Structure 1
């Protein structure tokens, strides 16, 4: 006969006993955060103005296309429901 082992689940306890930060610690962490942000932002490769314009045009074209598509689908379903199924003139 095979014995079944009882598996205990580890439950994370809420950490309500956190030490409150004084102003100096908070300020040091805040300054470190912004320094790290500045360092990371220097690593970003920004697109050129030409790329931004090109991608904006593509997004606007797709938005216009799907707007027209949804409008036409709505009009077709409107005609199907009200004229064919409900026979309302």
Structure 2
């Protein structure tokens, strides 16, 4: 049981050490990245909707 406790303590110690090495983005970088993600998501949503609408229209033509 003591071996498991030691491993858990070492794991969390390693996590804290690695988290201190992390370079966190500034507020401006975070805002810019958020805008990019939302823009790309919107473009992909419009693209997916368009392709779906076109395929749906083509299938309806064949079925009628």
Instruction: Verify same fold: TM over 0.5.
Output: yes
Structure 1 segments of 4+ aligned residues over 6 angstroms from their partners = none
* Bigger Cα Rg: 1
Partner residue of 1:70 out of 30, 48, 55:
48
1:44 is matched with 22
The count of aligned residue pairs is: 64
Partner residue of 1:31 out of 2, 6, 9:
9
Question: Which structure is higher in RCO with an 8 Å CA cutoff and minimum separation 6?
Answer: 1
Unaligned stretches of 5+ residues in structure 1: 1-22
1:82 is matched with 60
Pairwise CA RMSD of aligned residues?
A: 0.9
Whole-angstrom CA distance in 1 between matches of 2:35 and 2:42: 10
Whole-angstrom CA distance in 1 between matches of 2:53 and 2:7: 57
Whole-angstrom CA distance in 2 between matches of 1:78 and 1:29: 57
Whole-angstrom CA distance in 2 between matches of 1:59 and 1:67: 12
TM-score, with normalisation over the residues of structure 1? Answer: 0.67
